[in-house]
Structure 1
Amino acid sequence: MLRIPTLCALFALAPLASALELQPLALYQSGFAAGTEIISVQPSTLRVIVSNSAEGLVDILQLDPAKGLNRIARHNLVAEGAGEITSAIFHPSEDIFAVCIRNSDGLKNGRVEFRAATDGTLLNTVEIGIWPDSLAFSPQGDFVVVANEGEGYMRDGEGFRSGEGSISLIDLRSGVATATHSLIKLPDLAGVEGATQVEHQRLLERMIEGEELKIPFGTGPEHIEPEYVTFSPDGARAFVSLQENNAIAVIDVQQGKLDKVFGLGTVRHAADIVDDGKYDPSAELFALREPDAIAVSADGRYLISADEGDTDPKIAKTKAGLPSGGGRTVSVFDAMSGELLGDTGSQLDDKAAEAGVYPDARSPNKGSEPEGVVSFDAFGKRLVVATLERADALALIDLDQPAQPQVLQVIGAGEAAGSGNLAPEGLAHVEQNGRHFLVTALEKSGNVALFELVK
């Protein structure tokens, strides 16, 4: 489980930090070899929930600044073959967590389960859309929004059929027991500036009936794939990343409807795109951003995206000038207008190389691969932390100048968790008494790492 003494001894030998940096604090070991994925912290209690999709369970941990992470409950929720947990999140203040579970039939509706965090008692089940992938409570806990990715595919004659992507809005204002659900359908994105269009000639890699295939990707509802949800600080709007569509859907929560969709455009910056055993950012990357996780700054002014990528061009990009999939960046947009303000360019990979964690084998395909992201204010600064899944690392970013976000540090998750394939994915931030903690789920190791931001 928790291993602190050796880490504490390491800290005692380390020099005092003179600038903002992330430092490893503790490690929780789940006992499973892999599967820890999505993570959420309840600020009022410092309880942490982490899902394990491979095992069909969630662990409830207690974050103690002096003792690290200890498991206080484990709830087995999904039997083998009965679906898959895709996300889990704590209610902001009550003894409740919610999980979204996709149906074992990828073309049927999924569900959200609301449960008591202490003993796992099922409080309510709400049927939602197809293939739910992410969910979030509003800051006040009165709504839940779910990104229904609709990712399941099946053969249909000579072609393929997919479920439609959608967004679920669950109204909890009368309590969990009487929750009501509405499904927000998404329009064809043809002509949406900055979003993926037919002329981009995209292919998706999907597993269909046990075979990995490349599927042509269009702009219609059956090809819209909502990925991740976050709220504005006032709870009035929910932002949903449409990863493969390179766009953001904005939901008017009170009205229960789609407000708008804005595209995210492309990046051009120096990059290493050759697997040759060394870091050489001498080429230019031209890519669609295609973000996974997104976050909103504490003041609500900025939307921040972790530009992981997921599609490939139908024709080799070097021959046809088509964009790659994945910006390898963290990007900043005006949260109201959707206007691009700036991005990190090549800094994530540059800093990963400096830290000795750049994954050169991934150079032809998404580099360090930013995936999770959180934004918060600390020590008088506006900050962002992102997980770099393929670099097995976290990046600390200064957002005081949104047009020029500065990567301050890349630290290997292995500094808290040991070496090996770690794949940090889910990420959460919590503050207590002026101390700032970052908790990340290490999908490929089955563990959870705790870091602290120090000055």
Structure 2
Amino acid sequence: MKLRIAACLGLVAATIALTPTAQASNGKHLTVTQVGTYATGIFDEAAAEIVTYDAKSKRLFVVNAAQAKIEVLDARKPATPTKLFDLQTTGTTAADGSTIPDGSSANSVDVRRDGLVAVAVESATKTDNGWVVFFDGRSSTGKPLGAVRVGAQPDMVAFTPDGDYLLAANEGEPNDDFTVDPEGSVAVIDTPRRGVPRQRDVELADFHRFERKVPHGVRIFGPKVNTQFPVSANLEPEYITVDKRSRTAYVTLQEANAIAEIDIRKARVTELRALGVKDHSRKHNGIDPSDRDDAIAIDRVPVYGMYQPDAVASYTFGGRTFLVTANEGDVREWGDYVEAARVKDLGDDGLAPLCAGAFDPSVTEDAELGRLNVSIASGLKADGSCYERLYAFGARSMSIWTTNGRQVFDSGDEFERVTAEAKPAFFNSNHTEANFDGRSDDKGPEPEGVTIGEVRGRTYAFVSLERVGGVLVYDITNPYRAEFVSYVNNRDFANQTGDLGPEGVTFIPADESPVRGTPMLAVANEVSGSTTLYRLDLRRP
């Protein structure tokens, strides 16, 4: 059933109070309330990407990617978080004798329970190997303790729950003109209880064993620049989660629409699992595919959405580990290779057309599927003559999976429906500018980050929406019966203030919170360069 709301209705008040669809077993709703914000004053320069928290010092560590540093914030008074100093990574000499040059960028940060901070740093020449730099997060100096060399473009770092290892997802994207394409890999770093790792403590889990045979459904596509290890270069590790036993890591391979499983102690990739696709023609799986239809038009369409998750988190239920993914989607565009094309442009400029009879001709109209960006690498007939299926980027949803890749929950079209109700005038808005329907032809609200936390016996997932903004909350206590709880978005669309482009989210448990007994959520916002703290309360409706 199509949800169609004329654009003129979007001119009414932009915020509508939402009635949560789920509540805790004790009859209480989880409310999310803004407490305080730290603003860098830097707009659209990735000044606040990822955030993590140290319980003992009550400090937040926020990635300022553009300046290759970590901003250390004092959160003891969460209503007024203040900056203490920076952790500067450039100029640091690593254990292999290399020095981090100016022009390098910080991509990620994590902190161990004893206060050891690890920062992923991408080289100024991004196809060169990067570094992980270590700091004492509880010191007053911000001086680096040391660094180790890892793979190209370390994009995310994560300590294992027991603190014995640090993992870094080395994304290994090609250079801008697609003449160099390094391998993707995951660094497994043995981290001592005292001191910092040495270079010999670093092992790279690579994908070489999959060069001859790739599991069905794992997407390997585009130009083969790296002729020695083309599959390994094609796979680009994005985000990491680790099981509570600290033995197995699960890593998203976003463009490949897959997840890799890693034996941490052996530093070995043991499995690649394709995530499959989402059928947007099925009930509750619809999307709004056009930015030129002058309406909020969430409908079932003959398109398959590739999940392509960015962030992933994990938790246990019934003694089993489950994975929670934010299904953002991503496009490969390097040099002359551009993976995305609008449906109406298929058949032009050397692209294969739609297969005759496979689609109603009306799908090429701007108000239907004509404007939707789809992959030119997927959906071709076996002989390459035409497209018999259409594959869009991302699933505009959150999913829960077993560790063997079986999906047990997906939020369907709820993200677009919730944001349409809450912010109708700015439905599917972009993040750098406020507009109506601006991202419908691409990836919609674009779920980016996800974190998981427990509040009084209930387990919740918090999912950030990079484009329209805000955070969605789901009760995932039972992964088979996950339910939407609430949505919060403090963005002022009229003035482009508040939080724009939320990316990293981290949960602060009640027993570690700066507000004793009250769990909190920290959100880093890439476009607005702000970091905001929210308190989480269970209250009766």
**Taking structure 2 as the reference length, what is the TM-score of the superposition?**
0.72
Aligned pairs for 1:90-129 (under 5 A) are: 90-94=111-115, 96-117=116-137, 118=139, 119-129=141-151
Q: Deviations over 1:146-172 (max 9, x none)?
A: 0000013265xxx73311101100001
Match of 2:413 among 324, 346, 356: 346
Which residue among 455, 468, 471 is the counterpart of 1:391? 468
Range moving further from structure 2, 437-446 or 252-261: 252-261
* 1:424 correspondence with 2:486: no
Pick aligned residue for 2:75 from 60, 63, 68:
63
Counterpart secondary structure, 1:221: helix
Give the counterpart letter for 2:300 in structure 1.
A
Whether the 8 Å contact between 2:305 and 2:393 is mirrored in structure 1 is yes
Aligned equivalent of 1:14: none
| Offset, 1:316 | 9.6
Helix, strand or coil at the partner of 2:417: helix
Picking from 91, 109, 114, the partner of 1:88 is 109
Give a deviation string over 1:104-125, Cα, whole Å, max 9, x none. Answer: 1222111111112222222121
- Aligned residue number for residue 208 of structure 1: none
**Larger-gyration structure (1/2):** 2
Check 1:410–1:98 CA distance in 2 against 1; reply closer, same or farther (3 A cut).
Answer: same
Q: Which residue of 2 aligns with 1:228?
A: 239
Question: SS where residue 414 of structure 1 aligns?
Answer: coil
CA distance in 1, matches of 2:255, 2:519: 33
* CA distance in 2 between partners of 1:417 and 1:116 (Å): 42
Compute the displacement of 1:78 (Å): 3.0
Say yes or no: does 1:303 pair with 2:323.
Answer: yes
The gaps in structure 2 that reach 5 residues or longer are 1-22, 92-100, 280-284, 332-339, 341-374, 380-385, 429-436, 512-516
- 1:166 correspondence with 2:166: no
Calculate the aligned-residue CA RMSD, in Å: 2.9
Q: Secondary structure at the match of 1:279?
A: strand
AA aligned opposite 1:301: T
Structure 2 CA distance for aligned equivalents of residues 231 and 110 of structure 1:
22
In structure 2, do the counterparts of structure 1 residues 390 and 67 end up closer, same or farther at CA, with 3 Å as the change threshold? closer
Cα separation, partners in 2 of 1:232 and 1:363, compared to 1, 3 Å = same
1:138 aligned residue: 160
Q: Which has the higher contact order (CA 8 A, sep 6+)?
A: 2
Q: Which blocks of at least 5 consecutive residues in structure 1 are unaligned? A: 1-16, 205-217
1: distance between equivalents of 2:492 and 2:471?
Answer: 11
**Residue correspondences, number:** 421
After superposing the two structures, state which structure 1 stretch, 384-393 or 168-177, moved more.
168-177
Q: 1:126 to 1:87 in 2, by over 3 A?
A: same
TM-fit CA distance, 1:66: 5.5
Q: Which of 167, 170, 175 is matched with 1:153 structurally? A: 175
Q: Secondary structure of the equivalent of 1:280?
A: strand
Q: What is the alpha-carbon distance in structure 2 between the residues aligned to residue 99 and residue 21 of structure 1? A: 32
CA–CA distance in structure 1, aligned partners of residues 537 and 306 of structure 2 = 34
Q: Which structure has greater strand proportion?
A: 1
> 2: distance between equivalents of 1:404 and 1:419?
37
| 1:243, distance to aligned residue in structure 2 (A) | 0.7
Distance 2:484 2:518 in 1: 21
Determine the structure 1 residue equivalent to 2:372: none
**Correspondences of 1:1-400 after superposition (within 5 Å):** 19-33=29-43, 34-35=45-46, 36-64=48-76, 67-78=79-90, 81-94=102-115, 96-117=116-137, 118=139, 119-153=141-175, 155=177, 160-173=179-192, 175-179=194-198, 180-186=201-207, 187-188=209-210, 191-198=214-221, 220-268=231-279, 269-275=285-291, 276-284=293-301, 285-297=303-315, 301-311=321-331, 312=340, 313-314=375-376, 320-335=388-403, 337-356=404-423, 357-359=426-428, 360-400=437-477
Would you say the 8 A contact 1:98–1:115 is kept in 2? yes
Give how far 1:84 is off.
Answer: 1.0
CA contact (8 A) 2:155 2:168 kept: yes
CA distance 1:390–1:321, shift in 2 (3 Å): same
Deviations 1:267-288 (A, max 9, x none): 1211111113432101335211
Please, what TM-score do these two structures have when normalized by structure 1?
Answer: 0.85
Q: What is the DSSP-based 3-state SS (H/G/I as helix, E as strand, rest coil) of the residue aligned with 1:391?
A: coil
Q: Work out the CA distance in 2 between the residues paired with 1:57 and 1:428.
A: 19
**CA distance in structure 1 between the aligned counterparts of 2:81 and 2:236, rounded to whole angstroms:** 34
Asked if 2 retains the 8 angstrom alpha-carbon contact of 1:417 and 1:449, the reply is no
**Secondary structure of 1:230's partner?**
strand
Distance change in 2, residues 1:236/1:278 (3 Å)? same
Q: 1-side partners of 2:298 and 2:478: how far apart?
A: 25
